[in-house]
Structure 1
Amino acid sequence: MSRAKLLFVFMLMVLLLAACGNNNQETSTDEGSSVDESQEGAGVTELSMWIHQSGEEETEFYKKRIEEFNEAHDGEIKINVEVVMDDGGSSYNDSLNAALVAGNLPDVLALDGPFVASYADAEIIAPIDEYISDEDKEDFVDSILQQGTYNDQLYSLGAMESSVVLYYNKEIFEEEGIEAPTTIEDAWTWDEFMAVAKQLTTDDRYGLNLFMDYGVGEWYTYMGAPFIWSNGGELISEDGTTVDGYLNGPESVEAFEYVKSLFEEGVVSLTPSETQFESGNAAMALGGPWIAVSAENAGMDYGMMPYPYSEVPKSPSGSMAYAISTQAEHPEAAYKVMQWMTNEESVIGLSEVTGMPPARKSAFESMEEYNELPKKIMRDQVVQTAHARPTTPAYPVLTDAFAQAFHAMALGEDAQSTLDQQVTRVERELRRFNQ
């Protein structure tokens, strides 16, 4: 690896850690998760794979599917898998970058979808266009392909999608006589959304929870970018060369001013409690699929509505994905692993375990819960309005700039000047890739 490439990798590691947080812990692997190397057979292609540690059920699902892959490909391919610590902070990315510098990246790896372009540009992961069939590719929802594509080449595939919907407390809505929209066509406009949020705000209850307690990081970009997209704006130019006139353009400024008004009107708390929505201290919540799980565990009667919009409905997307390392000696065999971990059976099983929407159209057709409310809202957004975060190698800096600006709006700062300052940062980073 060249000195320039090593320098980029170091810079990427720093930026990824800044975007994900500063909660450093030692990396660990799950004991017993690796396949016994003493079982090697002659002529077997042996591959290494990293998966991120998540919830116990999700992690066990990954390990089970890998065991089933090894059984199905006995005598042909065998995966040695490591479950690597993912603390929601820096540990997983820390491990990936350390392995890269040491020259021992796994053949197949999991990575956070929005960072695909960064790894692709650094030649850490390899394109898979020559392996995936047109029929298989067509079955993935568009946002998964958008997330995994850089410079017109496909690098990653995800087994699950995600979305942010507007959750609401049915009991409170009934008391207030508010009827929730049930289709994207009937989604609330910004004005309608603000009016309802004000109506629902009382001395002891907020109208809306934006989960600001998640901290200044990727959540703000993931949850907040549709405010810009639905207002006709973009975070970056189509060719990926500049954010000037986009992140700080009139559509973006107007969107950030709207976010600012939510706080100025007092309908959102900057410091909500962890269970503000579930405990009834917020009537609505703009949250991910995991909120359905916590609401159900709290025994609350909740519903889902589409993401509110300005000019055209847009919704967030993106999650963990699989990619092949450029260090892989057997990329075709590695792709078979990717294909297995993202096939219909894997996608459906993962959705059932995590509550996240599936990444394949065929899976949506097979899963009845996504054909009826409330989850139909999530399905419709994934299929119709999902918008992938920008695929640019400068994404680590861009997402931090967005998050900082979003937080500044919550603090009441001026949108135009804040965005102009953040654009200066991102433009400086983009110059490294525009040469």
Structure 2
Amino acid sequence: MNAGRRRFRHAACTGLALALPLAALAACGGSGGAEASAEAGSGKGTIRVWAHQGQKSEDAALQNAVKSFNSAQKDIKVQLRLIPANDYTKTITATDASQLPDVLEFDGPTMANFVYNKKLAPLDSYVSQGTLANATDANKAQGAIGGKHYGLGMYDSGLGVYGNKKLLDAAGVKYPTGLSDDWTAAQFTAALKALKAKDADGKVLDIQEGNGLATEWGTYGFAPVVWSAGGALLKDGKASGALDGPAAVSALKTFQSWKPYVDANTDGNAFAKRRVALSWVGHWMYPAYSAALGKDMVVLPLPDFGNGPKTGQGSWAWGIGADTKNAKAAGAFLDALLDDANVKAMTSANGAPPATRSALAKSPLYRKGGPLQLFAEQLAKPCGDTRITKSCVAVTRPLTAGYPTVTAQFSEALNSVYGGADPKDALSKAARAIDRDFSDNAGYQIP
């Protein structure tokens, strides 16, 4: 599975939550007490590193980075262990903090759970100030809790609407050129109607339904609809009044109204084979789509529901194990891993937007004038996870150890609404379940 679609197999308890009942989350909670603190150590010796096994090209890029680091100096030796992606987060969750490695990779939304369970330590004191300064603001937003950084990524992610210029022009649909002239939700709906009138079966939109809406794709792909309407998944640690507020309800009513225009895309080729004019998905589909459509393809932002266009962001990141006895060596390895050469190699392998300023500026795809410049522009306007204003665009999924419950309940509500349920009822049910779980776990407070 490609880098983008793997992104939706979250866990921590954070992904197990997508498949298990809420009661199963109890095994993942129960933190409290003082913050975990790594030992600095000598900065020399052998350190262990865990990472998820991804595409062969990604694995090779990481293995080459480790080999290069080990050969470039004699003080530190990195031992890399790759764990199959489907088992990776479950392995971290099931492993006692004392047995975790010095450096570990994790999927962004799982970070707060690992911090809550004292499996990650702040890395600010161990990576260089240059490494921190070079991280994009969106990258740092995903990796920070309480002003401390627990994770930094080599790459990020983003959403857009890919358009078939030939089909749009044939239907007389005027489309955006960027964030400044984005479609409103009403204009997007009008575009669907115009496209339908020129389409044999009336199915003109792909929303990657095959990924499943009651999964992390539902949250990553469509929480931006709520944020763009001025709603939120959580506000001040509560879902009631936010997730089921008027803005969110109105947004999902509009989303529900698009179903008659959606191609179920059971073969995964609705856009590439030109059956639909629009595909709502992320950066990871660019290689296949550009190869199929060539100059007929345009890249557009998601529609604006009133609070400005929004996109999801965040992906795999790196952190320091809370019980490491050699955090200096761990930090030195991260400094090397996040340099331009390694970030370029990794993002060339998976096509994702670089999560460092210098690599992003040089990226053929994402730099100014590049075909995916829009994704870089969106990431340059980060919201974090709480201050979702009209002027920011890239929103971090809620930084809470209770995220498993949030995403499970929101995506289930989204799927129910798509299937015809009343948006207010579905969102209120989800909000109540989230608030019950947060109450049962003292709000998942992180020291």
Counterpart of 1:137 in structure 2 is 132
How far has the Cα of 1:213 moved from its partner? 0.7
- Contact 2:14/2:109 (8 A) holds in 1: no
Query: Which residue of the other structure, out of 251, 259, 266, is the alignment partner of 2:255?
Result: 259
Task: Provide the C-alpha distance between the structure 1 equivalents of 2:268 and 2:109, rounded to a whole number of angstroms.
Answer: 26
C-alpha distance in 1 between matches for 2:92 and 2:407:
20
Question: Which residue, 150, 155, 158 being the options, matches 2:153?
Answer: 158
Aligned partner of 1:382 among 379, 385, 394: 379
The answer to whether the Cα contact below 8 Å between 2:164 and 2:277 also exists between their aligned partners in 1 is: yes
Q: What's 1:268 paired with?
A: 262
- Give the partner amino acid of 2:338: T
Once the two structures are superposed, residues 94-140 of structure 1 have per-residue CA deviations (whole angstroms, 9 ceiling, x without a partner) of 22223337x42121111110111111111111111223444432322
Match of 1:249 among 222, 238, 245: 245
Query: Which of 315, 340, 348 pairs up with 2:344?
Result: 348
In structure 2, the residue matched to 1:168 is: 163
**Partner Cα separation in structure 2 for residue 356 and residue 52 of structure 1:** 16
Q: 1:324–1:430: structure 2 CA closer, same or farther, 3 Å change rule?
A: same
Q: Which amino acid aligns with 2:227?
A: W
CA distance in 2, matches of 1:135, 1:331: 17
- Within the alignment, does 1:227 sit opposite 2:225 as a pair? yes
Q: Contact 1:230 / 1:309 at 8 angstroms: preserved in 2?
A: yes
Q: Residue 63 of structure 1 aligns to which amino acid in structure 2?
A: Q
Which sections of structure 1, spanning at least 5 residues, go unmatched?
A: 1-11, 23-42
Q: In structure 2, which of residues 405, 408, 421 is the aligned counterpart of residue 397 of structure 1?
A: 405
Q: Does 1:290 align with 2:287?
A: no
Once the two structures are superposed, the pairs formed by residues 314-353 of structure 1 within 5 Å of their partners are 314-353=310-349
Question: Counterparts of 1:174 and 1:421 in 2: how far apart (Å)?
Answer: 42
> In structure 2, what is the equivalent of residue 19 of structure 1?
18
Give the equivalent residue in structure 1 for 2:65.
65
| Partner of residue 119, structure 2 | 124
For 2:168 and 2:91, how far apart are their aligned partners in 1?
46
Shift of 1:13: 5.2
8 Å CA contact 1:21, 1:217 repeated in 2: no
Q: What SS does the aligned partner of 1:221 have?
A: helix
Conservation of the 8 A alpha-carbon contact between 2:70 and 2:77? yes
For residue 218 of structure 1, the aligned residue among 208, 216, 219 is: 216
Of 298-307 and 48-57, more deviation after overlay is shown by 298-307
- Name the SS for the 1:166 alignment partner: strand
Q: Is the 8 A contact 1:117 1:149 kept in 2?
A: no
Which letter maps to 1:379? A
Q: Distance in 1 between matches of 2:283 and 2:142?
A: 19
**Aligned residues with identical type, % of pairs:** 28
Q: What TM-score does the superposition give when structure 2 sets the normalisation length?
A: 0.83
Which residue matches 2:50? 50
> Hey, what's the Cα distance between the residues in 2 that align with 1:158 and 1:100?
24
CA distance in 1, matches of 2:75, 2:19: 38
Q: Is 1:308 matched with 2:303?
A: yes
Q: Summarize the Cα distance change of 1:14–1:380 in structure 2 as closer, same or farther, 3 Å threshold.
A: closer
SS at match of 1:313: coil
Whether the 8 Å contact between 1:205 and 1:281 is mirrored in structure 2 is no
What displacement does 1:44 show? 4.8
Q: TM-score, normalized by length of structure 1?
A: 0.86
Residue among 191, 199, 205 paired with 1:208: 205
Query: Bigger shift: 271-280 or 330-339?
Result: 271-280
Q: Unpaired segments of 5 or more residues in structure 2? A: 1-10, 22-42, 382-392
CA distance in 1 between counterparts of 2:359 and 2:13 reads 37
Q: CA deviation at 1:50?
A: 1.1
TM-superposed CA distance for 1:327, in Å, is 2.0
Matching residue's letter, 2:95: A
User: Residue 373 and residue 194 in structure 1: after superposition, are their counterparts in 2 closer, same or farther (change >3 A)?
Assistant: farther
Counterpart Cα distance in 1 of 2:442 and 2:345? 39
Match of 2:274, as an amino acid? G
* Equivalent residue letter for 1:374: P
Letter matched to residue 148 of structure 2: Q
Task: Kindly state the Cα deviation for residue 152 of structure 1 after the two structures are TM-superposed.
Answer: 2.6
Instruction: Decide whether the 8 Å contact of 2:177 with 2:300 is kept in 1.
Output: yes
| Deviation string, structure 1 residues 280-318 (Cα, Å, up to 9, x no partner) | 122101111121122234455422011211121211101
Describe the SS at the equivalent of 1:234: coil
Q: What displacement does 1:259 show?
A: 1.1
User: Could you tell which deviates more after superposition, 295-304 or 189-198?
Assistant: 295-304
Indicate the SS of the match to 2:77. strand
Where in structure 1 do 4 or more consecutive aligned residues deviate above 6 Å? none
Task: Tell whether the 8 Å contact from 2:131 to 2:338 is kept in structure 1 after alignment.
Answer: no
Q: Partners of 1:67 and 1:108 in 2: how far apart?
A: 16
Q: Give the letter aligned to residue 417 of structure 2.
A: M
Q: Look up the equivalent residue of 2:313 and give its one-letter code.
A: S
2:321 is matched by which residue type in structure 1?
S
Which segment drifts farther, 276-285 or 389-398?
A: 276-285
**Alpha-carbon spacing, 1:333–1:349, altered in 2? closer, same or farther (3 Å):** same
The reply to whether residue 95 of structure 1 matches residue 66 of structure 2 is: no
Partners in 2 of 1:340 and 1:49 — Cα distance?
14
C-alpha RMSD of the superposition? 2.2
**Residue 157 of structure 1, CA deviation:** 0.4
In structure 1, how many angstroms separate the alpha carbons of the residues matched to 2:192 and 2:129? 45
Q: Give the direction of change, closer, same or farther, for the CA distance of 1:346–1:275 in structure 2 (3 Å limit).
A: same
Q: Which residue matches 2:173?
A: 178
